[in-house]
């Protein structure tokens, strides 16, 4: 297969064959197809798109570029949840131990902060000693022993994605539905799953600002997962304000611990239970939606889910009881009166990064002690002088930072549009 011709065919809007995609990805991984040709192909895909069959083939080839986790026979179903990322999204920290308590096994390979969103691994690293660099063998051993693991990816998993993502990042080709689908699914399917649920977020704090694009991504992820033989469903969820109340390392870890005893904020707990229900039903581990919900809530209320988090953290070298310091608290208030019409959640994420709670450059150290607490939600009525957020800041809070936070809140007269947290569900697991 001539790579130039394959690029030209995609540039001209044709569908690529299985052989063309396989030859291109394999050539790229083996160094026979140079970065400039892969960059041109990424741009052709970005502009022309791919159908579901092409996207599934691209995913399969990227998956086959590396190793997949192998499980012993007759062990419980393996499941995972992946979120496209949002501000204050800590559902993974609750869901992994919770599902393990419900008899499933969760080999969760998670990521670091991307853009303004915080990463699950970064939040877990607020726990002293916690390791996020397990080898595939350590992952498998821990999952079979404890029931869950949350760790980073390794060089062995989908190396084609790592190589391609680095090019996409610098060639303006990240925001492409087929390329994102293949990137996410090649890593998730390497976990050897029996069921997968995706939380596709849209809104001011999400990677996907447009509802149409988020919907297209959600449907594409579901189509590819199912085509590759893994029962996959997705929830399209609102990310126009932070999920829960806390944004930052230690504060989100603390909120997750509260959630694991059933005492988390309502929106966070609603999403945890909805995503958990999808997986229990898809994996055939619950007789019905009601059964799934009841079991999830029972495990939270019993305290067993929190015990499971302790067990997971200990297995990964951490101590959940060790002190997790919190920076000094100060308050940002509003000068206005009215309704909170909208919140720029991304701006709040950026404020946390500004305080040192995220990275501005690759390799930056994260200060887990900083963050913020939301004191208001969209639709609340506020008075002049009313606090909007508590900041936890290691340095004196500058006027610039205070302004950044205040500008995240649009306060006016018109009642905000009521939006459900879970807008749509895609896929066929039988959850009604």
Q: What amino acid positions are annotated as catalytic residues?
A: 82, 161, 168, 183, 187
Q: Least separation, in Å, of the C-beta of 5 and ligand URA?
A: 26
Contact 234, 218 (CB under 8 A): yes
| Residues in contact with 386: Cβ distance below 8 Å, sequence separation at least 6, in sequence order | 333, 334, 376
Among 423, 337, 335, 415, smallest CA distance to 379 is for 415
**Can you tell me the distance from the alpha carbon of 193 to that of 232, in angstroms, rounded to the nearest whole number?**
10
- Per-residue tokens: 305: 């889910």
Q: Least separation, in Å, of the C-beta of 57 and ligand URA?
A: 17
Interhelix angle for 304-315 vs 249-259, to 10°? 140
**Which positions from 14 to 53 touch ligand URA by CB under 6 A, shown as an x/- string?**
----------------------------------------
| Residues in contact with 155: Cβ distance below 8 Å, sequence separation at least 6, in sequence order | 162
Contact 188, 182 (CB under 8 A): no
Nearer to ligand URA, 187 or 245 (CB): 187
Q: Least separation, in Å, of the C-beta of 183 and ligand URA?
A: 3
Nearer to ligand URA, 187 or 295 (CB): 187
Nearer to ligand URA, 188 or 245 (CB): 188
| Residues in contact with 253: Cβ distance below 8 Å, sequence separation at least 6, in sequence order | 90, 93, 123, 124, 126, 127, 324, 368
Nearer to ligand URA, 184 or 313 (CB): 184
Nearer to ligand URA, 95 or 180 (CB): 180
Q: Least separation, in Å, of the C-beta of 164 and ligand URA?
A: 9
Among 197, 328, 325, 321, smallest CA distance to 257 is for 321
**Which positions from 149 to 188 touch ligand URA by CB under 6 A, shown as an x/- string?**
-------------------------x----xx--xx----
| Residues in contact with 317: Cβ distance below 8 Å, sequence separation at least 6, in sequence order | 129, 130, 131
Nearer to ligand URA, 180 or 190 (CB): 180
Q: How many residues in the shown chain lie near ligand URA by CB under 6 A?
A: 5
Q: Least separation, in Å, of the C-beta of 63 and ligand URA?
A: 13
| Residues in contact with 289: Cβ distance below 8 Å, sequence separation at least 6, in sequence order | 277, 281, 430, 431, 432
Residue written as token pair 């569908």: 15
E strand or H helix at 29, and its extent?
helix 18-29
Nearer to ligand URA, 180 or 198 (CB): 180
Q: Least separation, in Å, of the C-beta of 22 and ligand URA?
A: 20
E strand or H helix at 406, and its extent?
helix 399-407
Contact 67, 190 (CB under 8 A): yes
Nearer to ligand URA, 181 or 250 (CB): 181
Residue sitting closest to ligand URA (CB): 183
Residue 199 β-bridge partners: 83, 235
Q: Least separation, in Å, of the C-beta of 200 and ligand URA?
A: 11
Contact 275, 237 (CB under 8 A): no
- Per-residue tokens: 180: 């994102």
Distances 345 to 65, 86, 230, 408 between C-alpha atoms, Å? 36, 9, 33, 7
Q: What are phi and psi of 55, to 5 degrees?
A: -65, -40
Question: CA torsion sign, 138 to 140 to 142 to 148?
Answer: positive
Q: Least separation, in Å, of the C-beta of 417 and ligand URA?
A: 28
- Residues lying near ligand URA in the complex (CB under 6 A) are found at 174, 179-180, 183-184
């Amino acid at each position: 297969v001539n790579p130039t011709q394959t690029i030209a065919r995609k540039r001209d809007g044709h569908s690529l064959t299985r052989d063309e995609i396989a030859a291109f990805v394999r050539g790229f991984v083996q160094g026979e197809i140079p970065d400039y040709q892969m960059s041109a192909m990424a741009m052709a895909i970005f502009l022309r798109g791919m159908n579901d069959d092409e996207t599934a083939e691209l995913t399969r080839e990227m998956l086959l570029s590396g190793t997949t986790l192998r499980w012993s026979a007759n062990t419980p179903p393996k499941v995972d949840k992946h979120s496209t990322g949002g501000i204050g999204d800590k559902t993974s920290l609750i869901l992994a131990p919770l599902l393990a308590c419900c008899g499933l096994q969760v080999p969760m390979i998670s990521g670091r902060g991307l853009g303004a969103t915080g990463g699950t691994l970064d939040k877990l690293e607020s726990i002293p000693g916690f390791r996020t660099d397990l080898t595939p063998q350590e992952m498998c051993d821990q999952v079979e022993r404890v029931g869950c693991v949350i760790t980073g990816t390794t060089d062995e998993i989908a190396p084609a994605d790592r190589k391609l993502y680095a090019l996409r990042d610098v060639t303006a080709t990240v925001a492409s539905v087929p390329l994102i689908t293949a990137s996410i699914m090649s890593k998730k399917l390497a976990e050897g799953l029996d069921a997968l649920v995706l939380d596709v977020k849209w809104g001011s704090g999400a990677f996907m600002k447009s509802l149409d694009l988020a919907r297209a991504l959600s449907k594409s992820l579901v189509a590819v997962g199912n085509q590759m033989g893994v029962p996959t469903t997705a929830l399209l969820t609102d990310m126009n304000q932070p999920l829960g109340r806390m944004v930052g390392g230690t504060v989100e870890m603390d909120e997750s611990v509260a959630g694991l005893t059933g005492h988390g904020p309502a929106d966070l707990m609603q999403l945890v239970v909805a995503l958990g229900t999808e997986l229990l039903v898809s994996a055939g581990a619950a007789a019905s939606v009601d059964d799934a919900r009841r079991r999830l809530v029972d495990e939270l209320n019993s305290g067993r889910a929190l015990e499971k988090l302790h067990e997971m953290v200990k297995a990964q070298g951490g101590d959940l009881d060790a002190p997790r310091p919190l920076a000094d608290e100060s308050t940002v208030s509003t000068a206005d009166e009215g309704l909170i019409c909208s919140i720029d959640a991304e701006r709040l994420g950026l404020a946390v990064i500004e305080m040192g709670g995220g990275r501005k450059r690759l390799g930056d150290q994260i200060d887990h002690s900083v963050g913020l607490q939301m004191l208001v939600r969209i639709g609340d009525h506020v008075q002049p002088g009313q606090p909007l957020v508590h900041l936890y800041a290691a340095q004196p809070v500058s006027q610039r930072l205070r302004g950044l936070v205040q500008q995240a809140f649009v306060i006016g007269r018109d009642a905000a549009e009521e939006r459900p947290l879970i807008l749509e569900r895609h896929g066929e697991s039988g959850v009604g």
